[in-house]
Amino acid sequence: MEKIAKKVNEEIQRGWLGPNLSCPYHPAHFTGQDCSFCYCPFFPCNDKTFGWELQGRHGPVWNCSDCLFIHRTPVVKFIYSEIERLGIKDAKDPRFDDIFRDAKAKFWKKGKALMVVGATSDAGKSVTVAAICRILHNKGYLVAPFKSQNMSLNSKVTRAGAEIAMIQVLQAKAAGIKNPDAHMNPILLKPKGDTVSQVMVCGKPFADYDVDGYYNEFVPGPGIGIVKEHVEFLKDRYDCVVMEGAGSPAEINIYDRDIANMGAANIADANVILVVNVEWGGSFAYAIGTVELIPENDRKRIKGIILNNVRGDTKKLLPGAEELERLTGIPVIGIIPHADVVLPSEDSEALRGVRKKGEGKSLIGVIKFPRMANFTDLDPLFLEDVSTVFVEKVEDLKGVDAIVMPGTKNTVSDYLWMQEKGLDKEIKKLWKKIPIVGICGGYQMMGKVLDDSNGIEAGKKAVYEGLGFFDNTTTFGEYAKQIIQNEGKLAVGNGGEITGYELHMGISEVREKQPLVLLDRFHADPLPEGSVREEDLTFGTYQHGIFDKPAFRKYFLSFVKHNGEPVNTEGAEDYEAILEENLQKLADVFAENMDVEKLIEIAGVKE
C-alpha cells in the first residue's frame, strides 16, 4: 500500500498525461487507454463492479486487473480537476473516497449487449462480430466479444493460462484488446468423439458430457449461471458486449435449453442482428424461416438483418431486401459484399473437401488427422511461396517436399489411424530425405514411445511404439493437461523471436540434446523446448502458433527444396500484422455497406 501511495503521489504531481504510447503497459487493456494513472488513486476501492477479492498467501488481496474505469480520459480529467479543486496533495487523503463515489456516479454505467445470430451455420457470424467490434472500437467505444458456448478444436491460451476459442481471440483483437480472457468464451466444447465433448469452463477442464447429459444436466444446472456471470462481468467493464450465437437460433428441438443464441440474448438483455449468407441458395427463405420459427417474445429482440457475402453487384439485392423487410417487419441494415480477407477459419468445416492450397512449386504435405486440432497453426504457411496438400492416404504423399504433422485432440487414436492407413510406414521411408515437423500431438508421435497405460487417449490400456524420430517418451496421465502461453526465441539457425502456446495431454520425457526453442521464464534461465535433428531434417515442438512469427517459417522452409530449388521467404511477414491489416479491411467493407448509425442505435450505445 505504501508503494502504491508513493506512486500515486508522483502521478498527482506530474498531472494529466493522457494516452501514452511509450508506456510499456499502454496496450494492456485497449488501444488508446489513458495512462495518467498506472497506479489507481482509489486502490483498493472494494467495489465489486470493478474487481474482486483473492486469497493471497498473506491474506485477502484486492484484484482489479480487469478494471478499465481509471484508464478513460473523461474519468481521469475529472479526477485531476477534483484534486486541483480540493487541493489534494496526498494519495492517503480520505476525500479520494468522495471523488471515487462522484466519478462512478457521473461516468460509470452498465454496458449494453448486442447479439449476432445466423440463419444457418457458416452465415458469417464470426466475421460480422469482428467487423462490428472494430467499427465500434474505431468510434471510441470500449467493446468486448462474447460467445457463451463455442464448439471448436481451434483454441488459444490467454495470458492467464485459460483456454478459449481462437475466434474469440481474433474478435478481441478486432476490439483493440491485446489480452483477451476467458470471460469472452466461458464455455468451450472440445469434441472427443461423435457424441462426447470435453466441456471447458472459464478456460479450464470441467467434465465430459454426451449430448443428452449436456442439455439435460449441464445447461439447466451450472450452464445458465455461467453465461450470466460472465456476460455481466463484461457489461460492467465495457460499453458494448458483442455476442456471437452458435449454429441456428431456431433449433426448435432444444429451444427451451438454449444458452447459445436467443437464450443467451435473454440472459444478457441483448438486441439481436440476424446474419444471412447470400452465397448459399435460398438465403431469403432461411431468413424468413428463422424469424418465423423463433417465438414472438424472442422475435421482438431482432432489430436488424444483414445480407452477407454477396458476390457481384449488391444493388441487385435491394428488391429482395425490401421484400424481406416487408415480410418480417425487420430492417435490412446492411448488404455486405464478399470480403477478400486473410483471416483464420473458425472450425474444420473450412477444410472439408479441400485437398490442396497454394500455388508454390514446393509441396508440403499436412497429415489430416481425423481429430486434427488447432489447424490454424498452418494459416501462416498458406501465405508463403509453397503449395499444401492435405494427406489422408499414402498416395497423397507422392511428390511432397516436406511433411507437417499437426496437433490432434487425441494423439494415440490418430496415431492408430495413421498406422491403419499405412501412413506411418510411408513417412518413415521419407524420414531423413525431406523435412518433417511435428507440432504438439504430431511431435509426440515422432518420439519412441506413446505410453497410454492408463487408457486415457484410446480407451485401452497400452504402450505404443512411436515413429522413433526422436529419443522421447510421452506418458498420458489422468487428465494432466498443459495450458501455457509462451514467448521465446529459436535455439537454432539465426535465432529470432517466437510466440506460441501449449495445449496438450501427456508429458514428454525429452532426451534429445538440441532443443528447437528457448522459452522465456520470469527471473529464470530460458527453458529449452522441442527437439531438432538438422542432419535428419527432423523438427518437433509443443508450441502451437510456431509459424506465426517469420523466424521459424524462414528456418523450416530453408530446408524445403523442390528439385533442389529453395523456397523464397524474402517477403515473410509477422502473421499478427497481417491479421491486423485484414481486420481493418474487413471492418471497412462492412462500414461502407451498412447503416452504421442504425447499428449504433441497435447496440444501444448511442448517447
pTM value is: 0.84
| Residue 136, H or E segment | helix 125-138
* Least reliable range by pLDDT among 17-21, 313-317, 336-340: 17-21
Same domain, 521 and 599: no
CB neighbourhood size of 93 (10 A): 16
pLDDT, tens digit (0-9, with 9 covering 90-100), for 219-244: 999 999 999 999 999 999 899 999 99
Q: Provide the 3-class DSSP secondary structure of residue 298.
A: helix
Rounded Cα–Cα distance for residues 32 and 158 (Å): 21
Higher model confidence: residue 598 or residue 24?
598
Total domain count for the chain? 3
| Average predicted confidence (pLDDT) for the chain | 90
Same domain, 496 and 555: yes
Burial (Cβ within 10 Å: 0-12, 13-18, ≥19) of residue 329: exposed
CATH number at residue 242: 3.40.50.300
Same domain, 386 and 337: no
Above 90 in pLDDT, residue 264?
yes
Q: What is the pLDDT, as a whole number, of residue 563?
A: 86
DSSP for 179-217 reads S--GGGS-EEEEE-SSSEEEEEETTEEEEEEEHHHIIII
Percentage with pLDDT > 90 across the chain: 62
Same domain, 94 and 134: no
The set of cell numbers assigned to 503 is: 495445449
Same domain, 402 and 311: no
Is residue 202 situated within a structural domain? no
Q: Provide the 3-class DSSP secondary structure of residue 444.
A: helix
Above 90 in pLDDT, residue 109?
no
The set of cell numbers assigned to 601 is: 442505435
Instruction: Count H helices and E strands in the chain, helices first.
Output: 18, 31
* CA-wise closest residue to 70 among 24, 144, 17: 17
Is residue 567 situated within a structural domain? no
* Least reliable range by pLDDT among 198-207, 285-294, 333-342, 520-529: 520-529
- Chain centroid to CA 181: 9
Is residue 322 situated within a structural domain? yes
Is residue 354 situated within a structural domain? no
Q: What is the pLDDT, as a whole number, of residue 347?
A: 57
| C-alpha Rg value of the chain to the nearest Å | 26
> Could you give the count of Cα atoms lying within 13 Å of 285 in the half-sphere of its Cβ?
3
Is residue 163 situated within a structural domain? no
* Of 64, 202, 440, 504, catalytic: 440
Q: What is the pLDDT, as a whole number, of residue 38?
A: 78
Rounded Cα–Cα distance for residues 369 and 451 (Å): 20
Is residue 212 situated within a structural domain? no
Rounded Cα–Cα distance for residues 68 and 4 (Å): 18
* Least reliable range by pLDDT among 79-93, 297-311, 436-450: 79-93
Q: What is the pLDDT, as a whole number, of residue 345?
A: 72
Same domain, 451 and 303: no
For residue 419, give every residue at least 6 positions away whose Cβ sits within 8 Å of its Cβ, in sequence order, or none.
none
Above 90 in pLDDT, residue 458?
no
| Residue 224, H or E segment | helix 224-235
Task: Please confirm, yes or no, whether 183 is among the known catalytic residues.
Answer: no
Residue 271: domain span:
112-149+168-179+223-344+582-603
* CA-wise closest residue to 540 among 399, 432, 442, 400: 442
Same domain, 391 and 269: no
Residue written as cell 542432419? Answer: 535
Is residue 366 situated within a structural domain? yes
Above 70 in pLDDT, residue 607?
no
pLDDT, tens digit (0-9, with 9 covering 90-100), for 30-64: 556 777 787 788 888 888 888 878 777 778 888 87
pLDDT, tens digit (0-9, with 9 covering 90-100), for 279-298: 888 999 999 999 999 999 99
Strands 362-367 and 386-391: parallel
> Quick one: average pLDDT of 343-368?
74
Same domain, 424 and 473: yes
Same domain, 298 and 397: no
Is residue 335 situated within a structural domain? yes
Q: What is the pLDDT, as a whole number, of residue 1?
A: 59
Same domain, 473 and 596: no
Q: What is the pLDDT, as a whole number, of residue 66?
A: 72
What's phi and psi for 297, nearest 5 deg?
A: -60, -40
Q: What is the pLDDT, as a whole number, of residue 348?
A: 52
> Quick one: average pLDDT of 480-497?
85
Beta bridge partners of 156: 164
Count of residues in the chain: 607
Same domain, 260 and 335: yes
Q: Provide the 3-class DSSP secondary structure of residue 155.
A: strand
Rounded Cα–Cα distance for residues 451 and 466 (Å): 10
Ranked by mean pLDDT, the top range of 14-18, 80-84, 415-419 is 415-419
Q: What is the pLDDT, as a whole number, of residue 27?
A: 45
Task: Please confirm, yes or no, whether 440 is among the known catalytic residues.
Answer: yes
Above 90 in pLDDT, residue 441?
yes
CB neighbourhood size of 78 (10 A): 16
Same domain, 138 and 253: yes
Beta bridge partners of 437: 404, 539
pLDDT, tens digit (0-9, with 9 covering 90-100), for 15-31: 767 766 566 554 444 55
Q: What is the pLDDT, as a whole number, of residue 23?
A: 63
Beta bridge partners of 149: 187
> Quick one: average pLDDT of 548-570?
91
Rounded Cα–Cα distance for residues 75 and 436 (Å): 55
Rounded Cα–Cα distance for residues 96 and 93 (Å): 6
CATH number at residue 441: 3.40.50.880
Give the pLDDT band (50/70/90) at residue 121. Answer: confident
pLDDT, tens digit (0-9, with 9 covering 90-100), for 509-519: 999 999 999 99
Strands 386-391 and 356-357: antiparallel
